[in-house]
Structure 1
Amino acid sequence: MLAEARWQLPPANALPGGIVAEQKPDGFRAIVFARRDLVMVQSRQGADLSRAFPDIARAARALGDSLVLDGELVVPVRGGWTSPHSRAEPVAEVAAPRRPL
């Protein structure tokens, strides 16, 4: 399910069933697949983002376990978050079908 834009979060206990809302930074939704011999950072649409985010691929490989991580790639900055969309090299140029790292 994709997130919906809202001006503010609902107050505590405002949602039924104890549902909790949290702010969603604008970044790249990504799934990281890692094994001993393969690491791939993949977009929601299936594009290979491994070369666009080599630091993420290296960190997943360094964990040494087989794993799948699903999350949002954002960049921490003083006072909040920034989007990887602001990177100098457009991700679309490096998110092309290639052999995984």
Structure 2
Amino acid sequence: MKLWPAFSLLLLAGCAHTPGGVEVKTVEVVKEVMVPCPAQAPARPTPLGALPDLAEDALRIVSAKLLEYAGKGGYADKAEDAIKLCASAEAATLSK
């Protein structure tokens, strides 16, 4: 039974090790984040409301509303300009 003390010393020798050192690494992680659009939303045209009974008057009001929306410099043009500005701002941040 002289093997038992030698075996126990061998087991205890396995426990006497120095722990490994701690290594600190700095890792750069690139993440995309949403950037707010620099454009202001254009003011929506006012609602159409009730139309008059006379067809000529109703046509005049509807035509004016259509021009307010789709005419040169109207709501549609302003909205399109805002979308283009936001898309160009987004493209500029993605290329950085």
> Could you tell me the TM-score, scaled by structure 1's length?
0.20
> Could you tell me the TM-score, scaled by structure 2's length?
0.21
Answer with 1 or 2: which has the greater Rg: 2
- Please identify which structure carries the higher helix content: 2
- Please identify which structure carries the higher strand content: 1
